[in-house]
Chain A
């Protein structure tokens, strides 16, 4: 009977549908399968006959004692146990689960029913010895074989000598079935069932008779389409498209093959057949070139200088410096002295320890590991090419450049300025409660009105026949007679500002709530509103003017008519806090800037025409281009945004040049200029050319930063305004001065 290892012994005897792959490979055809199965069945029959024979022999125990088969059995049992002890000892040092049935019968101490049909390790009887997988030789000279679970020594059993054993074997009927377990130092008597199992294993059959290798085959994955599938998801797209990952991998491989880094076919075979040799004493260069094959940017480390004649322990005379030379070196500064001075010695024994050895090694190591070994790829881009092509500021003159005049007089921060439409005068309002009128050409303060509260806004009435100056003071709107016109103008202005008694006293209740019109003793006009007014702005014709009271909620925006002395509230509801308003210079449109958006209303249709989206900051300034098609909006997030109304509701350009909140913004009425002023104490001037051609976008070029104001209490330049005819900029500062910058 051929000896087979246990793993192969599990091979089923009929084996036509065995799971063993070897047999499946060997039986590719159905016919052969059938034939072999018949043969196997024949074998099976033979086996069963043998089993019957065994049963018969075991029935008459005594008679079969001398049977030749018994020798076979003993030998098989011995082999089996040897193999079993070798394999199972690591687990729990049990001999086998199967013989435990018999040993369990003999040793009642284990006290555990064992399932004879199972060979699972769970059913195995625990061994009484606990020494583990150690060579038993260690206990050879001891009087115990090991320790039990409680830690008590297990004494060696008193086994007789060889003669006694022989006699006992001859005496006992079970001697043939008895084997010795050296680990536990005990004899184990195998039952007949176990013997049969062993015989089946030796024949290459299943150990247990009841194992049915032909269980009905349950097909988990079949080609049949289930009408009611468990998962009805459609096939994902990735099943049908080539994998990009694989493609990238293939590209890599193709590239490597093309470059010759990977060899295939004939070349690979040729390479494999070449002997793998390398130059033992080869230069480092070859190793480096090998590295560069896969690592293109590799920089080989700097090589140390090879020793030459001067490093010899006994160099030729010409290398050894003379005393004069040494003296000369001594005079040199340390960094210019030669690092190594050759010395001559009689023999190697006289050579002293090299003093710089450690230092040089250390430096070499530093050099090797600190020096970058990979060449960095750097893009050489001319920074000029990245800058957008903009004309030079010099070519965009004129624009305000130099500080020309300083209008000094206000004692507190100047909040607002308004140049007279003729360009001869400038009005300014300050926190000191005064409105001042300046002559632009000389810088002289020619008039001053004290209004008590901080002036939030000033604005000239565009009607030249009246020469009125409007100012927003506290909850009042004040129209002042500037006195700049002649007598007729003065008279006309007085007449315009004279509120009829009926209008002052009576009127609708509604109007009373909005604003109360009153004449001033000096001939001007005063409007008392419900809320603090922040801005006054005039319509281009000079009859209407609008006021903004941010805290006014529903009465935030009021539009006043000078000729009728009437006030109306055009917006029942304002979406957000209104910051600024402006009239369109040409068309009946009205711009309302709330904290984060600018809404443009069509006054003729009484409808919202457009909404410009703001940025993150609160809108603090707004100016409308003289053409009315462009708006600049300054916000407290340091941004000045240019909106092209024909283009989009988002900014055409956002100019972030200020370092603090933007306070004022202004367009020039004739020159292509606009400016912004900020709390950082500067005013920025931009060239903003607008083309009549609809296809060309506006050209915006920052041209100048104007400095001159001091930052007081973190407030810088609070307002800016252009001269109506000259390319000059007025700026109002928190330091109480108004500056004029001219070209």
Chain B
């Protein structure tokens, strides 16, 4: 019996040496992506063979061609356009960094090739790419809920690298506070830091690795659950249990203005008002270091604006190119805010509390327009992808994938990729997804308890931390 044949035309956006002629090819309908990949490899005469993934109408092929066409109601008698992309290699677990307490937040520090992790006991640690703890400081009294790295502005980047300026890190905690930290992790002192790790509770004693609380954002009345920095790195946004979504100014220019404008008296007052002994100790230690920035007491900033809409805890935020903020909260809504007008432009109302929201920062490097796609999850096992471009009144275009066996605690979009994202669940699994497919690209069960946070360290490394007091690194080429 003759096998069913389907006419396909292969297209791609890959460089010309990987393009096949745009002719129609009759292939057996029972072929899966492996078979199609063999065809492409044969057509291109690649050696060694490269695996490819295939996209039909914006959906990754995961079944046989026939089953896919049937499921999507595509006529097999027409020519099927099949786009092929290099297949994504599933992530590989790399190394695990043991921690003292639950890891609740991770963030890649924009400059300095280091990774920041926040723990449930309020300690923030900086890790070098070699897996060493280069800096450890108590950022919050109760626990760190979120970390965000403030990238240096484009103009300052060169300057910063030259001058070894400290990078900026935002942290939000359960003690109602959002703080901006100047952290400098001296790479030269790594070994020393590593050797004296046992006695490094006052990390500021080391000469070049130190953290200094530069700005205190006052405004939240309850625990702050999320903080996010704008792509331009001049604004940040935080949301918390008081239901407020507050916009703040941030970045190096704030510090510069404060340094120019503030008098020593003000700084004294601010230091006295700042309160806790720990901070004073940090400040004093920083002052002892003699750096100009460290000498300044924390600047207290008020919110620029509040974004209305949420009636309950704002638990997750995402800021994309083009001035769009996505927020999710315990009031079961995901809201889209326009920063310019500070209005809530779109709302998705679900039935479960939202814990994690993520939107791609920019689609494939083209920073022309804001991303219209947002992924979110929460007190549910379902990862939802909402395409906000849908016309109002037609219902929301929300795709739902059964992602985890427990709550979804964190979602992180892969930097520089418009389709791939990582999710962390209370079932102890970290999964990498392509939004064009309902099947995960990779599932990692390195944690034996709840995974609380997931993040990307660059585009090639995945980081997750959880209730098993472990910071797990993964490689994903």
Q: Which residues of A are at the interface with B, using a C-beta cutoff of 8 A?
A: 397-398, 404-405, 422-424, 439, 441-444, 446, 483-487, 725-726, 728, 742-743
Interface size range of chain B in the complex: 20 to 34
| Chain A min CB distance to B198 (Å) | 26
B residues 290-318 with Cβ under 8 Å of A? 312-313, 315
A-B contact list, 16 entries, CB within 8 Å: A422-B241, A424-B222, A424-B223, A424-B241, A439-B143, A441-B315, A443-B450, A483-B142, A484-B142, A485-B176, A486-B176, A487-B275, A725-B312, A726-B379, A742-B352, A742-B407
Known: A422-B241, A742-B379. A444 touches B312 (CB 8 A): no
B178 contacts A by Cβ under 8 Å: no
7 A-B pairs with the lowest CB-CB distances in the bound complex, closest first:
A486-B176, A742-B379, A424-B241, A398-B351, A444-B120, A725-B312, A726-B353
| Chain A min CB distance to B12 (Å) | 43
| A-B pair number, CB within 8 angstroms | 60
Considering the chains assembled together, what is the distance between the CA atoms of A484 and B102 in angstroms? 19
Known: A423-B313, A486-B175, A726-B353. A404 touches B379 (CB 8 A): yes
Considering the chains assembled together, what is the distance between the CA atoms of A414 and B407 in angstroms? 24
B403 contacts A by Cβ under 8 Å: no
Considering the chains assembled together, what is the distance between the CA atoms of A467 and B452 in angstroms? 26
| Chain B min CB distance to A313 (Å) | 69
| Chain B min CB distance to A672 (Å) | 15
| Chain A min CB distance to B219 (Å) | 12
Residues in chain A near residue B426, CB distance under 8 A: 404-405
Contact B407 A726 (CB under 8 A): no
Residues in chain A near residue B222, CB distance under 8 A: 422, 424
Considering the chains assembled together, what is the distance between the CA atoms of A486 and B275 in angstroms? 11
| Chain B min CB distance to A614 (Å) | 37
| Chain B min CB distance to A462 (Å) | 15
| Chain B min CB distance to A671 (Å) | 12
B330 contacts A by Cβ under 8 Å: yes
| Chain A min CB distance to B200 (Å) | 25
Residues in chain B near residue A439, CB distance under 8 A: 143
Query: Given A442-B452, A443-B450, A484-B142, 14 more contacts at CB 8 Å?
Result: A397-B351, A404-B406, A422-B241, A423-B313, A442-B104, A442-B120, A442-B409, A443-B467, A444-B120, A446-B142, A483-B142, A725-B331, A742-B407, A743-B379
B residues 135-193 with Cβ under 8 Å of A? 142-143, 174-176
Considering the chains assembled together, what is the distance between the CA atoms of A422 and B313 in angstroms? 9
Name the contact of A444 in the complex, choosing from B102, B313, B331 (C-beta under 8 A): B102
| Chain A min CB distance to B424 (Å) | 12
Considering the chains assembled together, what is the distance between the CA atoms of A483 and B275 in angstroms? 15
B355 contacts A by Cβ under 8 Å: yes
Residues in chain A near residue B406, CB distance under 8 A: 404
Contact B102 A442 (CB under 8 A): yes
| Chain B min CB distance to A480 (Å) | 16
Residues in chain B near residue A397, CB distance under 8 A: 351
Contact A442 B467 (CB under 8 A): yes
Contact B120 A446 (CB under 8 A): yes
Residues in chain A near residue B142, CB distance under 8 A: 446, 483-484
B residues 342-361 with Cβ under 8 Å of A? 351-353, 355
Considering the chains assembled together, what is the distance between the CA atoms of A446 and B142 in angstroms? 8
Residues in chain B near residue A442, CB distance under 8 A: 102, 104, 120, 409, 450, 452, 467
Contact B241 A404 (CB under 8 A): no
B residues 103-137 with Cβ under 8 Å of A? 104, 120
| Chain A min CB distance to B90 (Å) | 27
Considering the chains assembled together, what is the distance between the CA atoms of A422 and B104 in angstroms? 21
Contact B407 A404 (CB under 8 A): yes
Known: A422-B241, A725-B330. A446 touches B143 (CB 8 A): yes
Considering the chains assembled together, what is the distance between the CA atoms of A742 and B222 in angstroms? 23
| Chain A min CB distance to B111 (Å) | 30
Considering the chains assembled together, what is the distance between the CA atoms of A439 and B355 in angstroms? 14
Residues in chain B near residue A422, CB distance under 8 A: 222, 241, 313
| Chain A min CB distance to B453 (Å) | 10
> Can you name the residue of chain A whose Cβ is closest to the Cβ of B176?
A486
Considering the chains assembled together, what is the distance between the CA atoms of A439 and B104 in angstroms? 12
Considering the chains assembled together, what is the distance between the CA atoms of A398 and B380 in angstroms? 13
Considering the chains assembled together, what is the distance between the CA atoms of A424 and B329 in angstroms? 13
Residues in chain B near residue A728, CB distance under 8 A: 379
